[in-house]
Structure 1
Amino acid sequence: MEIDSIMEDLGKAVDVAGVLAIVIGAVVATLLAAMALLRHRERRIYVTYRERLGRSILLGLELLVAADIIRTVAVTPTFESMGVLALIVLIRTFLSFTLELEMTGRWPWQKLDTDVPSEP
C-alpha cells in the first residue's frame, strides 16, 4: 500500500469517527434528557441537554477538522487544497467558538470566574 492510500483511508476513518461522535452524542443526550424529563428529577433539563449536545458537536467538529488536515496535507498538498482546507478550518473554528460561547457564556480563551483570586 502507498502512503497516500493509507493517509486517505486514515482521513476517512477520522471523518467517520467525527460523524459518529456527533450522532452518538446527540442520541445519548436526547435519551438522557428524555429520561430526566420522565422522572422530573432534573430542573435544568434543557440546559443540560444543550451542554451535552454541544459537547458532542464540538468533539465531532474537532475530529472532522483533523480528518481534513490529514487528507489535505498528506494526500493532496496543493495550494488550492490548502486554501480550501484553510477555509474549512476557519468555518469550523468559528462554529466551535460560537458553540463554546453558547454553552459556557464565555469565549474559549477567557478564564473562569473561579480562576480569579478572591479579595479578602
Structure 2
Amino acid sequence: MITIDGGSGHWLESLFRLAVVILELSGTATILTGAALATATFLRQACRGLYAEAYRPFRSTLGRSILLGLEFLVAGDIVKSLVINPTLNDLVVLAGLVFVRTFLSISLGVEINGHWPWENTRMERARLDAATDR
C-alpha cells in the first residue's frame, strides 16, 4: 500500500527505479531501432548498386541513433546516481558515460557536418555576410 503520511518512502524509490528502467530500455531500444533502420536502408541502396551514396547516410543515421540512445542512458544514470543510490562508483560510471557521450557527439558531428561544432557561428556569420553583399 502506498502511503504519503510520513511512511518509509519506498513508493517514491520504487517510482524512481521504474523511471530508470524505462529510460534504460528507451535508450537501448533507440540504439537498436536506429541501427536496424540504418542497416536496412543501407542494404536496400547497396543492392541497387548505390554503395558509395549509401555509406555516409548510413553512418550519419547510425551515429545519430547512438547519440540519442546515449541521452536516454545518461538520463537513467543521472536519476540512479543522484536520486536512488548516490555511491562513488555510480558517480564515476556517470562521469565516464558523460565523457563518452560528449566525445562521440563531437566526433560524429565533425564527421557528419565536416567541421567542428563551434565553427557553426563563424560559418553562419560568413553566410549572412555573403547574402547581404548581394
TM-score range, shorter chain: 0.7 to 0.9
State the Cα distance separating 1:41 from its structure 2 match: 6.1
- Does the aligned pair in 1 maintain the 2:42–2:58 contact within 8 Å? yes
Aligned partner of 2:103 among 79, 94, 101: 94
Question: Segments of 4+ in structure 1 off by > 4 A?
Answer: 40-43
TM-fit CA distance, 1:26: 0.6
Query: CA separation of 1:42/1:81 partners in 2, compared to 1, >3 Å: closer, same or farther?
Result: closer
Quick one: distance in 1 between partners of 2:104 and 2:50?
32
Equivalent in the alignment of 2:77 = 68
After TM superposition, the score normalised by the length of structure 1 is 0.82
| TM-score, normalisation: structure 2 | 0.75
Question: Which fold has the larger relative contact order, with Cα–Cα distance below 8 Å and residues 6 or more apart in sequence?
Answer: 1
Gaps of 5+ in 1: none
**Which AA in structure 2 matches 1:72?**
S
Asked whether 1:105 is paired with 2:118, we answer: no
Bigger Cα Rg: 2
1:1-120 aligned at under 5 Å gives the runs 2-40=11-49, 44-111=53-120, 113-114=123-124, 116=126, 117-119=128-130, 120=133
CA positional deviation for 1:100: 1.9
Residue 53 of structure 1, CA deviation: 0.8
Q: CA RMSD in A?
A: 2.3
Do the aligned residues in 1 keep the contact of 2:74 with 2:98 (CA within 8 Å)?
yes
Question: Offset at 1:71?
Answer: 1.1
